[in-house]
């Protein structure tokens, strides 16, 4: 009888230990997941802000005489692709491929907008208008905000993923439906140094002076 009570007591202690540990792990993981989802919503908001600015920019640029239509068309098509990749704004994606497709379309729009602003510098009458300058400032500010929010998102995902894969939460994460989440990666080409080309008015660069004789 005593041995049975002892075994029962040990099993009860183990159960209580697992229950307390499970509740603690769940609360921690749930809190971290909420932080990730909040950060993801912030990312979605700044991307949506940029997408809402594009039609006004396109309308403003279309009014410039002889503006390069191919550049304008590229921006329009890139925005259309962005609207096709829909992800729940209230829940960060779990599938790396889903986030990869989302990031690819958004980065394509970033690139096309950058080219559009560069081309616009060739049209002084356009860049001199207050409307264009205001849109340009808003876009540049939004791009900076996107970079900031993506960095914050990666930080919250890192904290969450660390908790999911660490003990003792790792013992409960799968049962509670918590799984690791993917990060934003660096934009394509961001690791390549820009090519520097010094143009000396079409003339070859002067040869270096010979070292003085000793």
pLDDT score recorded for residue 211 = 47
CATH number, domain at 169?
Answer: 1.20.1440.20
Residue 59 domain flag? yes
pLDDT tens, position by position, 85-117:
889 888 999 999 999 999 999 999 999 999 999
pLDDT score at 2? 62
186 lies in some domain: no
- Give the number of other CB atoms < 10 A from CB of residue 110: 18
pLDDT < 50 regions, the chain: 17, 19, 190-209, 211-214
**H, E, C per residue of the chain:** CHHHHHHHHHHHHHHHHHHHHHHHHHHHHHHHHHHHHHHHHHHHHHHHHHHHHHHHHHHHHHCCCCCCHHHHHHHHHHHHHHHHCCCCCCCCCCCHHHHHHHHHHHHHHHHHHHHHHHHHCCCHHHHCCHHHHHHHHHHHHHHHHHHHHHHHHHHHHHHHHHHHCCCCCHHHHHHHCCCCCCCCCCCCCCCCCCCCCCCCCCCCCCCCCCCCCC
Considering the entire predicted model, what is its pTM? Answer: 0.77
pLDDT of 5: 61
Is the residue at 76 inside a domain?
yes
pLDDT at site 207 = 45
* Residue matched to tokens 């905000």: 145
Q: Whole domain around residue 22: which residue ranges?
A: 2-176
- Asked if residue 17 is part of any domain, the answer here is yes
Which of 95, 91, 136 has the alpha carbon at shortest distance from 116?
A: 136
Kindly state whether residue 13 falls inside one of the protein's structural domains: yes
Tell me what pLDDT residue 202 has: 42
User: Is 188 contained in some domain?
Assistant: no
The answer to whether position 200 is within a domain reads no
Residue 204 in domain: no
Count up the domains in the chain and report the number. 1
pLDDT for the residue numbered 90: 86
């Amino acid at each position: 009888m005593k041995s049975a009570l002892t075994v029962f007591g040990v099993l009860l202690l183990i159960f209580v230990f697992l229950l307390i540990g499970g509740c603690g792990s769940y609360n921690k993981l749930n809190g971290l997941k909420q932080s990730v989802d909040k950060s993801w919503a912030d990312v979605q908001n700044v991307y949506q802000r940029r997408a809402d600015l594009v039609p006004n920019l396109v309308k403003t640029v279309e009014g410039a005489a002889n503006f390069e239509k191919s550049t304008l068309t590229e921006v329009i098509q890139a925005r259309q692709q962005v609207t096709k990749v829909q992800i729940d704004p209230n829940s960060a994606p779990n599938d790396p491929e889903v986030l990869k497709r989302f990031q690819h379309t958004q980065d394509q729009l970033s690139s096309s907008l950058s080219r559009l602003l560069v081309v616009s510098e060739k049209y002084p009458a356009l860049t001199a208008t207050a409307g264009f300058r205001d849109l340009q400032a808003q876009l540049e500010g939004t791009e900076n905000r996107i970079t900031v929010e993506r960095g914050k998102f990666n930080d919250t995902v890192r904290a969450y993923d660390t908790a999911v894969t660490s003990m003792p939460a790792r013992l409960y994460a799968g049962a509670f439906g918590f799984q690791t989440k993917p990060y934003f990666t660096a934009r394509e080409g961001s690791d390549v140094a820009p090519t520097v080309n010094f143009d000396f008015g079409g003339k070859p660069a002067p040869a270096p002076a010979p070292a003085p004789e000793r």
